[in-house]
A and B are shown apart, each in its own frame.
Chain A
């Protein structure tokens, strides 16, 4: 529901501001759809996964599971798989609705699929990192909540990198979410994204993954 609400919002903003944005050659909706995708992945992977995981760990549920023949790693795997499916569904809805209902002119291909998967991996890894370092469910809530607003900003929710320019544009481009939004934007129009965006995303995935593994615990 959340991505659809954003979609409608930006369609409305687009009708108020027709034409391209800041000389980018894109409409408001086209420019913001990658951001909407990134925000969807954030909501799914960075809020849902760590808070549930930290809760299950805190109440002893993971420990309880580890006394059965099925290890708790399966539970984590199942949760990640489920959330991954939800993220894929959100992508399909946003792109489909953007294309069909709101007339954005996307041509998605194999590159878009690849970039989407990488973006999901990167943002889910942030969630796993939060799950690893948070001592309690409460802490997971605070950490995820504290990270959310800066990340929403960097993803371009309020203002797109092309609109700000200068140093801030670079910071947004090379942030975990900005790089993902930029790579998604290019690939949604079947254009190969700049290699730096892909490299940035991959580097963040490795970095967050390392922290997540380093501080991981079941109890």
Chain B
């Protein structure tokens, strides 16, 4: 990583976790529209890194700058020390890409497409073996246009992986798939990681990001809103909630003193405590010390969904005021 000019913030990358991809102060405009405004993050070797955000947030633009499809207006991107613009040819050997809208010619068969792509790379995987492991070997002689949505996505993954890449960039992989096909695709992505491939996953599905990603960046209006593990982001948005019926009256003051508690709500006989950390255990502990038993106890951890809504609803960004 000797070519990286600016040091990466320590909190973002402990020394033992070497960043494979770094994005620093990325800016990209389309005419008057500021699509990406000063985005910085880094992706570690071997992780599944999520890029999440609402539609039009700048997610795709960001990853397209990483894969070299678009040239940034400013900022520095390094992929294993290489510049996606200057070292395009070298980068393409080890970065596999699945595009959001990347159809194949209608009459090409799956086998032909995978064979064709295998011929593009210096050290490709065995096409039959890859199709087998993706569970689409029986589609080999089928024409692309006759495939279902889920099958097309699998072919798309196969094409992204056939070059035996070290990095796979998957953009909106499960959009338009039925729930079962989505789940199967998730399993595939985990398989990809087990091969040692670093994955960048662009998605606007929070359940997908929560389930698959080790860390994620939340982009909204072209800017980074959060960068952390899904759990931390979910928790930071104030997510955990414990609801119970106390066996004896408990004062707000007492509950407020429990570490991690942010707010208390009462409705009928129910008390709802919101906060961070291992909230349920802390509340039960504190109540037990007073000899109070909670009944009808219900605990819910904060979801990424809540955090997403909260983080993207925040004050209007400056670039929107200008346009």
Taking Cβ atoms with an 8 Å cutoff, the residues of A that contact B are 55-56, 59-61, 63-64, 66-70
Residue of A56, A63, A69 touching B99 (CB-CB under 8 A): A63
C-alpha spacing A67/B92, complex, angstroms: 6
A66-B69 CB under 8 A given contacts A60-B101, A61-B102, A61-B104: yes
Contact, CB under 8 Å: B97 / A67: yes
Residue of A55, A64, A69, A70 touching B159 (CB-CB under 8 A): A64
C-alpha spacing A68/B121, complex, angstroms: 8
Contact, CB under 8 Å: A64 / B105: no
Q: How many B residues, CB 8 Å from partner?
A: 20
Residue of B99, B103, B122 touching A67 (CB-CB under 8 A): B99
Residues 109-159 of B contacting A (Cβ, < 8 Å): 117, 120-122, 159
C-alpha spacing A66/B64, complex, angstroms: 12
Contact, CB under 8 Å: B120 / A55: no
A69-B105 CB under 8 A given contacts A60-B99, A63-B69, A64-B99: no
Chosen A-B contacts, 16 in total, with CB atoms closer than 8 Å, are A59-B104, A60-B102, A60-B103, A61-B102, A63-B69, A63-B102, A64-B99, A64-B102, A64-B104, A67-B67, A67-B92, A67-B97, A68-B92, A68-B120, A68-B121, A70-B120
Q: Which 6 residue pairs are nearest across A and B when measured between Cβ atoms?
A: A59-B103, A67-B97, A64-B102, A70-B120, A60-B102, A68-B120
Taking Cβ atoms with an 8 Å cutoff, the residues of B that contact A are 67-69, 89, 92-93, 95, 97, 99, 101-105, 117, 120-122, 159, 163
Which B-chain residue is minimally distant from A64 (CB atoms)?
B102
Contact, CB under 8 Å: A69 / B101: no
B45 to A: closest C-beta gap in Å: 21
B125 to A: closest C-beta gap in Å: 14
Which A-chain residue is minimally distant from B122 (CB atoms)?
A69
C-alpha spacing A59/B107, complex, angstroms: 13
Which B-chain residue is minimally distant from A219 (CB atoms)?
B69
A35 to B: closest C-beta gap in Å: 32
A120 to B: closest C-beta gap in Å: 25
Q: Which residues of A contact B122 (CB under 8 A)?
A: 69
A6 to B: closest C-beta gap in Å: 27
Q: Which residues of A contact B93 (CB under 8 A)?
A: 69
Q: Which residues of B contact A63 (CB under 8 A)?
A: 69, 99, 102
Which B-chain residue is minimally distant from A59 (CB atoms)?
B103
C-alpha spacing A56/B95, complex, angstroms: 22
Q: Which residues of A contact B103 (CB under 8 A)?
A: 59-61
B176 to A: closest C-beta gap in Å: 15
C-alpha spacing A60/B102, complex, angstroms: 5
Q: Which residues of B contact A64 (CB under 8 A)?
A: 97, 99, 102, 104, 159
A201 to B: closest C-beta gap in Å: 33
Q: Which residues of B contact A68 (CB under 8 A)?
A: 92, 117, 120-121, 163
Contact, CB under 8 Å: B69 / A69: no
C-alpha spacing A55/B101, complex, angstroms: 13
Contact, CB under 8 Å: A69 / B104: no
C-alpha spacing A66/B117, complex, angstroms: 12
Q: Which residues of A contact B102 (CB under 8 A)?
A: 59-61, 63-64
A122 to B: closest C-beta gap in Å: 28
B40 to A: closest C-beta gap in Å: 24
Which of A56, A59, A64, A70 has its CB near the most chain B CB atoms (within 10 A)? A64
Which B-chain residue is minimally distant from A58 (CB atoms)?
B103
C-alpha spacing A69/B88, complex, angstroms: 8
B79 to A: closest C-beta gap in Å: 13
Contact, CB under 8 Å: A69 / B97: no
Residue of A59, A66, A67 touching B105 (CB-CB under 8 A): A59
